Amino acid sequence: MTLLPVGLVFHDPGTFRSASVLVNVGEPVMTADLVEMAREASERAVRALTARLAQAIRAQIVEAEDQHTLHLLEVLETAWWEEAERRGETPPGRREPAQSLAWRQDVARGAARLAEREPARVAALRHRLETYRARLDEVGVTSEQLGRPHTVGVVIRYVVQHGGWLAVGLPLAAWGTVCHFLPYWLTDRAVQWIGATAEEEATDKIVGGSVIYPVVWAVEGWLVGRGAGLAAAIAFALLLIPSGLVALAWRDRLDQALRQARAFVRFLTERDLHQRLMRQRQALVEEFRALAARGRQPRSGRPRDPQLRVAARAGTCAWPPLRPARRPATGARRPVRAGWSGRPAARPGRRRSDGSA
**Rounded mean pLDDT of 221-243?**
91
Nearest to 215 by CA among 186, 252, 244: 186
Question: What's the pLDDT at 275?
Answer: 85
Please state, in angstroms and rounded to a whole number, the distance separating the CA atoms of residues 61 and 72. Answer: 16
Whether residue 356 has pLDDT greater than 60: no
The answer to whether 212 and 188 have CB atoms below 8 angstroms apart is no
Query: Would residue 252 count as lying in a domain?
Result: yes
Query: Would residue 167 count as lying in a domain?
Result: yes
Please give the residue that has the higher pLDDT: either 43 or 312.
43
Q: Residue 78 is which amino acid?
A: T
Whether residue 272 has pLDDT greater than 70: yes
DSSP state string for 81-109? HHHHHHTTSS--SPPPHHHHHHHHHHHHH
Query: Would residue 101 count as lying in a domain?
Result: no
The answer to whether 72 and 129 have CB atoms below 8 angstroms apart is yes
For the chain, percent of residues with pLDDT exceeding 90: 14
Question: Which DSSP symbol is given to 30?
Answer: P
Number of domains in the chain: 2
Most confident stretch, 113-122, 145-154, 175-184, 199-208:
175-184
Range in 13-27, 67-81, 110-124 with the lowest mean pLDDT? 13-27
Domain final residue, candidates 271, 305, 334: 271
Whether residue 138 has pLDDT greater than 70: yes
Calculate the average pLDDT of the chain.
76
Domain final residue, candidates 227, 243, 271: 271
Nearest to 264 by CA among 132, 141, 135: 141
Please give the residue that has the higher pLDDT: either 156 or 54.
54
Whether residue 243 has pLDDT greater than 80: yes
Q: Which domain holds residue 53?
A: 1-61
**Rounded mean pLDDT of 164-189?**
90
Question: What's the pLDDT at 331?
Answer: 38
Query: Would residue 102 count as lying in a domain?
Result: no
Question: Which DSSP symbol is given to 143?
Answer: G
Q: Supply the angle between the helices 32-40 and 42-58 in degrees, to the nearest 10.
A: 150
What is the maximum span of the chain, computed from C-alpha positions, in angstroms?
86
Q: What's the pLDDT band for 303 if we cut at 50, 70, 90? A: very low
Condensed to tens digits (0 to 9), the pLDDT of residues 52-66 reads: 988 888 888 888 777
Query: Residue 120: CB partners within 8 Å, gap ≥ 6?
Result: none
**Rounded mean pLDDT of 318-341?**
37
Please state, in angstroms and rounded to a whole number, the distance separating the CA atoms of residues 258 and 29. Answer: 50
Say whether both 53 and 158 belong to one domain: no
Question: What's the pLDDT at 26?
Answer: 85
Nearest to 356 by CA among 14, 53, 20: 53
List Cα–Cα distances, 82 to 85, 190, 193, 299, 307, in angstroms.
5, 40, 41, 32, 28
Query: Would residue 91 count as lying in a domain?
Result: no
The answer to whether 191 and 205 have CB atoms below 8 angstroms apart is yes
Whether residue 148 has pLDDT greater than 80: no
**Rounded mean pLDDT of 296-322?**
41
Q: What's the pLDDT band for 351 if we cut at 50, 70, 90? A: very low
Q: What Rg value do the Cα atoms of the chain yield, rounded?
A: 26
Domain final residue, candidates 21, 39, 61: 61
Phi, psi of 24 (to 5 degrees): -115, 125
Query: Would residue 223 count as lying in a domain?
Result: yes
Question: What's the pLDDT at 191?
Answer: 84
For the chain, first and last CA: distance in Å? 21
Please give the residue that has the higher pLDDT: either 308 or 1.
1
Burial track 108-139 (b if 16+ CB lie within 10 A, e otherwise): bbbbbbbbeeeeeebbebbebbeebbeebeeb
Query: Would residue 126 count as lying in a domain?
Result: no
Question: What's the pLDDT at 196?
Answer: 66
**Rounded mean pLDDT of 278-306?**
70
Whether residue 319 has pLDDT greater than 60: no
- How far is C-alpha 2 from the geometric centre of its chain's CA atoms? 30
The predicted model scores a pTM of: 0.62
Condensed to tens digits (0 to 9), the pLDDT of residues 5-54 reads: 888 887 776 666 667 778 888 888 888 888 888 888 888 888 998 899 88
Q: What's the pLDDT band for 339 if we cut at 50, 70, 90? A: very low
Query: Would residue 170 count as lying in a domain?
Result: yes
List Cα–Cα distances, 5 to 66, 146, 356, in angstroms.
21, 39, 10
Question: What's the pLDDT at 42?
Answer: 85
Please give the residue that has the higher pLDDT: either 131 or 192.
131
Q: What's the pLDDT band for 93 if we cut at 50, 70, 90? A: low
